[in-house]
Structure 1
């Protein structure tokens, strides 16, 4: 299933769709470390990519991580089902894996470009599995493996929160007296999650801006009802994405009703079985909350409450995207899918029921296959992009980009799909941008005040000295992409042209440039926090590999 979804990405090129940006190289800029004025939303993801692209092409790395994330979701769901519902056997494991991989959440997050969130999503059943094992037996290796899964989920701050919640929910699993107590396990999961979140927590605590809420932003990112379904029905069927453009075509037809009916019937039957056997109570509880709470927050009073929370409480901007929390329902849905098979006592009947359930789920969401109907595919950058990146990397002064909009549409990119500007990820210098977005006709203000000032200067045709006063050393002009450039041609006429072709142009801003950069102490502190995360990842990964080898040797 993971291969059939990501198959178009096997072609040469780079993942580039909405928020997903991959480039040949990335660098440890202040933006990548999360020490600019913008909120540290992509830590430690950008740090990891910057380090790994020294060894591996960024396009190969990101596409491989995405495919592995989906594969982990299916495999982990099957393993979790095997532990919690052993009577379901292989038929139940197949249903669990299908529910975990083949659902609207995966399709919609793929179309939105949230590849690192999908990696975290794939870790959730493994976290639940490891915690339930620790309730029965505890050893150092299991603790290291738990640290690995939480750290891997923590590629994005949301992933760390999801991992913490799932880990806490799985603690409700019954123990046998020889495992770890619930209190000790809860404390340990919390500590590991805090350590995994250190890059985000330290970057935020050292003065990096945390975006305040605004009514337009909260409304734009609230969960939404898909055609034919209420908001509750959309979320309950693992859909409800806030961006109507990032929804598979089948979710706007009767296929949406059919998929929702199949999924919810299977889950309800399974929950009934689990309720009788008193299994997975914690996971079921967070699944219900993950559907009901975002539904309530999408109502008028809920939107008002969310706006107040993320405005008044620092760090709660993470609540703005309500639909992403339905990822918490996946482990319970998968286990319930496996349990539903056991409602039939005869094994041949279980195989038939599992086959019908899997086929119905796949055929009622047919366009998840082949990159969500061909919309997720590899792209190739024009040659000029690499040439300009090399020139800037030789003299890494801060860069301003025209048009100044955050989202782009390129003739060589994914057709009719806006993408985040990939250029900032490709250069050693920091790119100054406002982060302003337009979502479903609503303007959502970003947190880049300096970037907004620079954009206004360019649109007003400001003199070069005004750009250099903001620390800008280069101006890049991307052709053939929509955006308001105002009187920027007046400014460009006063700059030194360095490179130009039909796709992109580079201009040098004469110095001297005002030194605007994060202090050395802040960089050191944030890098140290990232190294804590790396230690969790490497130590846990080594323990996992060692444990796997030992089990194979014992066999």
Structure 2
């Protein structure tokens, strides 16, 4: 009898893993819906709010975090710039999104199997459903925050890696933590979210290990180098507009206070970047359904009382509470003070993004109460019903767009210019006929192989949150007032995105002194005569820190893969 138990259990575990993987891929595909058309040849590109993909992006100074604005999109932009030289940028990003969402579900299943010590597929399926199908995922997809979704998806894997490291520090287990933090480190927030989770797990009561804590701390410091070194050397992003604190605060949804919205993984600052059901009374019903599924598992979790489980739930609840407090009048006052007095405090202004820390605890609780196939089926159905319009790309909102030919023509005309490009209309967001009515981030900085000046000003709720681009603001002001850029400003090109709605001011007078290079129905390009080429930025530190991040992540991945192969051979 003993000789058949292990193989039977192994077979059950394998079937559970395959089942969770298939379910996770299916949920991810349904969530992305029509956007998956980007994966087909000629399928278009993602262009929705902050989410911008182009056929090819370039390793400009801005992509390395050396522009006027804070290095918020590093090493993400550099990775896409390098990879899009081989794979179409749209295919790359949407493929990463599909993989990330599927891995969020698979990782949640692995986390449940480890922490709840179960070989059953039922609780894993419920955890996968909670991890993929929730307001946080929907809202960040609609906001275009694809790299944040990647960081979110790594969270359950970080829990598993940190829990293993906490029990015994080995090279393979340390590499697993570094790999998780490296992948999440596509964006600063992703790295910090996962570093917090890893730190809480290794420091959980019972078996704290100084060496494990040191691994997490050292990995966080080294992997944050692409953006932390850029911030320290350039000073960009050290100061932020205090107006952004209220503009980006978490938001109460219909029938819910801010605390209730956050507890249900909702409450993003942008009321337009939400599924339709979250704008009606169904927000209350959906949140109640999600929390009811989690509450059903609380008695089972109490019986286990594992230190890691307690630590994760405590961290999640603390994230919900602090984010809600940050949206109160007192919290907003503290936030405005920090924006004025604390360098880099702008990284914290989008408070709702930190509620991702609540997902692992929520998934564990939901899984603990779903020990049979019947319970798991009901629980998964309730979670999906809580947010029915995440299906098919949030009701079709996630869909490919096709750029007009003008974009490729202008990109070819400018080439790899060392002179900067000024763009109008004013601001950083556009409304193009080909992209629909939703404002989208200007795609010019990712299309062109030259640095594009951007003010970084963000319109939020009828107010404008000032960005860091002072030189861009000066050039933009000159163009709007009818004056050509001064040659000493280093601006060699002026691009008018004429098909976009926006403020052009008296630019017709300004371009009278410029040389027209290309004129199409969507874009008009001018050359600034006698423009002075600015001194090239010193890329040494930026390139070195990006290579450090990539090298550590790849080396960690190789170590984990080699260790896995060896263990299976044994």
| Pairwise TM-score range, normalised by the shorter structure | over 0.9
**Match for residue 134 of structure 1?**
165
* TM-superposition CA deviations, 1:105-164 (whole Å, max 9, x none): 000000100000000001111011011112233321221121111000000001111011
**Match for residue 360 of structure 2?**
331
- What secondary structure is seen at the aligned counterpart in 2 of 1:539? helix
Which of 447, 455, 459 lines up with 2:476 in the alignment? 455
- Tell me if the contact between 2:418 and 2:534 (Cα under 8 Å) persists in the aligned partners: no
**Counterparts of 1:216 and 1:539 in 2: how far apart (Å)?**
42
**Match for residue 35 of structure 2?**
9
**Counterparts of 1:142 and 1:104 in 2: how far apart (Å)?**
32
**Match for residue 507 of structure 2?**
488
* TM-superposition CA deviations, 1:444-501 (whole Å, max 9, x none): 101100111011000011135x2x2211000111122111111110011221111111
**Counterparts of 1:401 and 1:353 in 2: how far apart (Å)?**
56
- Tell me if the contact between 2:248 and 2:349 (Cα under 8 Å) persists in the aligned partners: yes
- Tell me if the contact between 2:493 and 2:526 (Cα under 8 Å) persists in the aligned partners: yes
- Asked if 1:539 corresponds to 2:558, the answer is no
**Match for residue 470 of structure 1?**
489
Which of 490, 494, 509 lines up with 2:528 in the alignment? 509
**Counterparts of 1:88 and 1:330 in 2: how far apart (Å)?**
21
* TM-superposition CA deviations, 1:327-371 (whole Å, max 9, x none): 0111111111111224xxxxxxx2111111100111221111111
Query: More displaced, 366-375 or 128-137?
Result: 128-137
Query: More displaced, 252-261 or 223-232?
Result: 252-261
- What secondary structure is seen at the aligned counterpart in 2 of 1:507? strand
**Counterparts of 1:196 and 1:164 in 2: how far apart (Å)?**
10
- What secondary structure is seen at the aligned counterpart in 2 of 1:473? strand
**Match for residue 322 of structure 2?**
293
- What secondary structure is seen at the aligned counterpart in 2 of 1:195? helix
**Counterparts of 1:131 and 1:81 in 2: how far apart (Å)?**
14
**Counterparts of 2:340 and 2:558 in 1: how far apart (Å)?**
42
- Asked if 1:199 corresponds to 2:222, the answer is no
- Asked if 1:419 corresponds to 2:435, the answer is no
Query: More displaced, 329-338 or 5-14?
Result: 5-14
**Match for residue 375 of structure 1?**
397
Which of 339, 343, 362 lines up with 1:310 in the alignment? 339
Which of 171, 177, 181 lines up with 2:202 in the alignment? 171
* TM-superposition CA deviations, 1:204-262 (whole Å, max 9, x none): 11023125233421111000001111100000000000000001101122321222112
- Asked if 1:365 corresponds to 2:387, the answer is yes
**Match for residue 351 of structure 1?**
373
- Asked if 1:120 corresponds to 2:165, the answer is no
1:204-353 matches, within 5 Å, as 204-279=231-306, 280-342=309-371, 350-353=372-375
- Tell me if the contact between 2:290 and 2:386 (Cα under 8 Å) persists in the aligned partners: no
**Match for residue 10 of structure 2?**
none
**Match for residue 345 of structure 1?**
none
- Tell me if the contact between 2:148 and 2:187 (Cα under 8 Å) persists in the aligned partners: yes
**Counterparts of 2:416 and 2:134 in 1: how far apart (Å)?**
45
- Tell me if the contact between 1:88 and 1:341 (Cα under 8 Å) persists in the aligned partners: no
**Match for residue 398 of structure 1?**
420
**Counterparts of 1:245 and 1:439 in 2: how far apart (Å)?**
11
- Tell me if the contact between 1:171 and 1:282 (Cα under 8 Å) persists in the aligned partners: no
Structure 2, unmatched stretches of 5+, are 1-26, 38-42
Query: More displaced, 307-316 or 500-509?
Result: 307-316
Structure 1, unmatched stretches of 5+, are 343-349
Shift of the alpha carbon at 1:57?
1.1
Which of 65, 79, 91 lines up with 2:96 in the alignment? 65
Q: Structure 1 residues 313 and 222 mapped into 2: Cα distance closer, same or farther (>3 Å)?
A: same
Shift of the alpha carbon at 1:265?
1.6
- Tell me if the contact between 2:159 and 2:201 (Cα under 8 Å) persists in the aligned partners: yes
* TM-superposition CA deviations, 1:288-309 (whole Å, max 9, x none): 1110000000000000101111
- Tell me if the contact between 2:112 and 2:118 (Cα under 8 Å) persists in the aligned partners: no
* TM-superposition CA deviations, 1:522-548 (whole Å, max 9, x none): x10111111110012111222233344
**Counterparts of 1:214 and 1:533 in 2: how far apart (Å)?**
30
- What secondary structure is seen at the aligned counterpart in 2 of 1:493? helix
Shift of the alpha carbon at 1:52?
1.0
Query: More displaced, 82-91 or 439-448?
Result: 82-91
- What secondary structure is seen at the aligned counterpart in 2 of 1:86? coil
Shift of the alpha carbon at 1:271?
3.1
**Counterparts of 1:400 and 1:229 in 2: how far apart (Å)?**
44
- Tell me if the contact between 2:484 and 2:511 (Cα under 8 Å) persists in the aligned partners: no
Aligned length: 537
- Asked if 1:439 corresponds to 2:460, the answer is yes
**Counterparts of 1:277 and 1:234 in 2: how far apart (Å)?**
28
TM-score by length of 1: 0.94
- Tell me if the contact between 2:425 and 2:496 (Cα under 8 Å) persists in the aligned partners: yes
**Counterparts of 2:287 and 2:360 in 1: how far apart (Å)?**
17
**Counterparts of 1:457 and 1:315 in 2: how far apart (Å)?**
30
- Tell me if the contact between 1:34 and 1:208 (Cα under 8 Å) persists in the aligned partners: no
Query: More displaced, 258-267 or 432-441?
Result: 258-267
**Counterparts of 1:378 and 1:432 in 2: how far apart (Å)?**
26
- Tell me if the contact between 2:49 and 2:440 (Cα under 8 Å) persists in the aligned partners: yes
Query: More displaced, 186-195 or 134-143?
Result: 134-143
**Match for residue 15 of structure 2?**
none
- What secondary structure is seen at the aligned counterpart in 2 of 1:244? coil
1:39-78 matches, within 5 Å, as 39-78=70-109
- What secondary structure is seen at the aligned counterpart in 1 of 2:58? coil
TM-score by length of 2: 0.91
- Asked if 1:525 corresponds to 2:556, the answer is no
**Counterparts of 1:135 and 1:209 in 2: how far apart (Å)?**
37
